[in-house]
Amino acid sequence: MAARLSEDPSVSVLLLEAGSSDRPGDEKGVVDLWGSRFDWAFTSVPQENLNDVTVPVPLGRALGGSSSINGLYHIRGHRSGYDAWGESGAHGWDFEARLASFRRSEQTTGMDTQWRGTDGPMVIEPPTPLSRDAFYGAVLTAAEEAGHKSLVDGNGAESEGVAPTEINLVQGKRQSAADAYVRPVQQRPDLTVTTDATVHRLLMEDRRCLGVEYVVDGRSVRAGADREVVLCAGAVGSPHILQLSGIGPAAHLRGAGVQVVHDLPGVGGNLQDTPMRMSGSPRRPLSRPPVRTRRTFSPAVRRPPSLISNSSPCRCFYRSGTLPRNSNPGAVNRGPPPVHTATPSPSRTCDPRAGVRCGRPARTRPRLR
Ligand SMILES: Cc1cc2nc3c(=O)[nH]c(=O)nc-3n(C[C@H](O)[C@H](O)[C@H](O)COP(=O)(O)OP(=O)(O)OC[C@H]3O[C@@H](n4cnc5c(N)ncnc54)[C@H](O)[C@@H]3O)c2cc1C
């Protein structure tokens, strides 16, 4: 957002980030970064539907936010998910509207330009076809035998089926949102990037936001805004800052000693996250590591620097329940959440005897509440 806004030299943009400007090393995989200084490393409250266990909630704390520590998957959501948002009243969030933004963000080559961008800041290298690798070729065959469609481009016209995963990795280096958008334009005179600066509250006058108060080097600083304040501190950070500023459920704010500016009960509630589950097949151990993963590696495997990858070059979007393929999004929205992802990969981390692990069979379409 800072990069796009500062394209206009007549505006002056201040980007504040609590984390540092350092890039996590390119040898670091997602698992290495959990709990590191680049992670806020939150823990959930006890989860009623998980036998009251608490779960770790990693969130990026660095220029680039969670994109600096994430799993590098470049996967668009399923179109019906965006359409459901649009139908629920989120104007401009339906798939057609989002498609323009997706295309604008990407720089792909050799893809169908009706669906894919060619000159955006996020460089997407063409993924290796699954059939070129012994392990993923077998996964592809098995998926096809099970009735899943094989897709050349899972971010294109169709997303349901099995496809090679696109990865936010450029020539072996992590590509965060900061790498793609901010670092290349950081010298713009109208853009100031201040890191290690934690915003404590919005400066409110009645219900108008006039600026922010943040702490940097132990000093409290106030920054006024001539035009506007854009709050994008993430799924936890944004509601946290709003609540600290008196915007949120009144009783909760009063209980915490915060003066209420605007009683908005939804702020800080209804967070939905993707549960992650691993499952494996211990019956057929692989006799040797598959060819491709020796080259691209998973975060859990020893590897030379600058050769990280996400943990699976293959992903499958599939429907659970009884909803027919291509059922209309309205019907889909009334049924159980239908679209799930699975990312099969050779097992290393879960059970050394397992031949295949299937990571993150996860619902990808949380419904608005
Ligand atoms: C471990 C992990 C793996 C993921 N894997 C993938 C993946 O493979 N593919 C994918 O597409 N998505 C993945 N995601 C999700 C994706 O990274 C996020 O959806 C995306 O980064 C969210 O962007 P955001 O700008 O909303 O928030 P964030 O990226 O969280 O950015 C918010 C920023 O605000 C800063 N901030 C917060 N509070 C304050 C404050 N008080 N003052 C100043 N700054 C503050 C934070 O430090 C952070 O830099 C993953 C996320 C995580 C955590």
Give the pLDDT of residue 305: 33
Whose Cα sits closest to atom 8 in ligand 1? 71
Give the pLDDT of residue 148: 86
Whose Cα sits closest to atom 38 in ligand 1? 237
CA of residue 169 to ligand 1 center, whole Å? 17
Confidence of residue 358 (pLDDT cuts 50, 70, 90): low
- pTM for this predicted structure: 0.85
Q: Does position 366 have pLDDT exceeding 70, yes or no?
A: no
Pocket perturbation via mutation, ligand 1, pick of 70, 176, 341 by most ligand atoms within 8 A of CB: 70
CA of residue 71 to ligand 1 center, whole Å? 11
Query: pLDDT tens for residues 302-333?
Result: 333 333 445 577 888 877 654 445 444 333 33
Which residues have C-beta atoms less than 6 Å from ligand 1?
Answer: 16-19, 30, 58-62, 65-67, 69-73, 198-199, 232-234, 237, 241
Rounded average pLDDT over 334-361: 49
CA of residue 203 to ligand 1 center, whole Å? 24
CA of residue 335 to ligand 1 center, whole Å? 29
Reduced 3-state DSSP string for the chain: CHHHHCCCCCCCEEEECCCECCCCCCCCCHHHHCCCCCECCEECCCEHHHCCECCEECCECECCHHHHCCCCECCCCCHHHHHHHHHCCCCCCCHHHHHHHHHHHEECCCCCCCCCCCCCCEECCCCCCHHHCHHHHHHHHHHHHCCCCECCCCCCCCCCEEEECCECEECCEECCHHHHHHHHHCCCCCEEEECCEEEEEEEEECCEEEEEEEEECCEEEEEECCCCCCCCCHHHHHHHHHHHCCEECHHHHHHCCCCCCEECCCCCCCCCCCCCCEEEECCCCCCCCCHHHHHHCCCCCCCCCCCCCCCCCEEEEEECCCCCCCCCHHHHHHCCCCEEEEEEEECCCCCCCCCEEEEEEEECCCCCC
Query: pLDDT tens for residues 62-120?
Result: 999 999 999 888 989 888 888 888 988 999 999 999 999 999 999 999 999 999 999 99
Whose Cα sits closest to atom 2 in ligand 1? 70
Domain ranges (residues) in the chain: 127-166+275-363
Whose Cα sits closest to atom 10 in ligand 1? 73
Whose Cα sits closest to atom 30 in ligand 1? 234
Q: Which atom of ligand 1 is nearest to the CA of 200?
A: 41
Q: Which atom of ligand 1 is nearest to the CA of 30?
A: 1
Q: Which range, 126-140, 294-308, 314-328, is most confident?
A: 126-140
CA of residue 111 to ligand 1 center, whole Å? 28
Whose Cα sits closest to atom 4 in ligand 1? 70
Query: pLDDT tens for residues 258-282?
Result: 999 999 999 999 887 766 655 555 4
CA of residue 325 to ligand 1 center, whole Å? 32
Whose Cα sits closest to atom 27 in ligand 1? 234
Whose Cα sits closest to atom 34 in ligand 1? 233
Confidence of residue 197 (pLDDT cuts 50, 70, 90): very high
Q: Which atom of ligand 1 is nearest to the CA of 16?
A: 43
